[in-house]
A = this chain, B = another copy of it.
């Protein structure tokens, strides 16, 4: 029997705790706020940002937003980032990726102050994670760790195979898991024999962007499979794992949709709350 991990339920619990804390902070004079910046008209990005903004409002936070035309020059996008950086109403800043190709994403991301970097993607935040120092961490990786914790899947001492080494998920996740005491194997497109390195693992995380890459030939019976992929298909959303084939092999598996996705949104709210708690508004007064 393969257990389907319910990411929606755990995400709901996280969001409820965040909303309660937001209410407390607001009563004390600090309203947490998230600033989202969307450049251009990528449909997937528009859907994602709209969903985050809705969640922000539902949590009782301030929803700040700027939508810029696709041809906005670098210095104007930079000025918008700088404006939110200086704005005490913006506890956190999310610059939606990907950006149009004429823009330098790395330079724009690094204009976000580390204290407002709720996506955890600046060089400063990456360095704090590498050093194991306090800081804001990327949302999907901390959502995965939270989900494993909520399901009672052991991390310390476990062998976790992270398949995919992208900047948004694989890289930071590998480090988070190591800080939690997991033995970690990172595999990727250059890995010669993927099954050989994932079959020994207690947990297999698929964050490759390749639909249906992970099947029973990659997974030890009873292992946990975390599927980070999101692919739109005529049959609906699908992930990086062949979920049907893994039934009866994997011990637990996150579904797509309803697994990792909802956790990403929940952790974005949690990060915004953390940022607000560390940077209370100058006019905040104790309740």
A127 is an interface residue with CB less than 8 A from chain B: yes
Give 1 or 0 for each of A193-215: 1 = CB within 8 Å of chain B CB: 00011001000000000000000
A196 touches B200 (CB 8 A): yes
Bound form: Cα–Cα A191–B202 in Å: 12
Could you show 12 A-B contacts with beta carbons less than 8 Å apart?
A: A123-B127, A123-B130, A125-B127, A127-B128, A157-B192, A174-B186, A181-B188, A183-B185, A183-B190, A183-B192, A183-B197, A184-B185
Bound form: Cα–Cα A171–B171 in Å: 12
B183 touches A186 (CB 8 A): yes
Residue on B nearest A189 in the bound complex, by CB: B181
- Taken together, the copies of this chain in the complex come to 2
Bound form: Cα–Cα A181–B186 in Å: 10
A18 is an interface residue with CB less than 8 A from chain B: no
B123 touches A167 (CB 8 A): no
A142 is an interface residue with CB less than 8 A from chain B: no
Residue on B nearest A200 in the bound complex, by CB: B196
A133 touches B157 (CB 8 A): no
Bound form: Cα–Cα A2–B251 in Å: 43
Contacts of A172 in B (CB 8 A): 130
Interface size in chain A (residues, C-beta < 8 A): 37
Chain A residues with a Cβ under 8 A of chain B? 106, 122-133, 156-157, 159, 165, 167, 171-172, 174-175, 178, 181-188, 190-192, 196-197, 200
A129 to chain B, nearest CB (A): 7
A184 touches B183 (CB 8 A): no
Bound form: Cα–Cα A159–B133 in Å: 29
Known: A126-B127, A157-B190. 8 other contacts (CB 8 A): A122-B127, A123-B130, A123-B133, A124-B124, A130-B130, A130-B171, A159-B192, A182-B190
A142 to chain B, nearest CB (A): 16
Q: A124-B123, A129-B130 are in contact. Are A181 and B171 (CB under 8 A)?
A: no
Contacts of A175 in B (CB 8 A): 130, 171
The 5 closest A-B pairs by CB, nearest first: A127-B127, A123-B127, A126-B130, A126-B127, A181-B190
- A184's partner among B131, B157, B186, B200 (CB-CB below 8 A) is B186
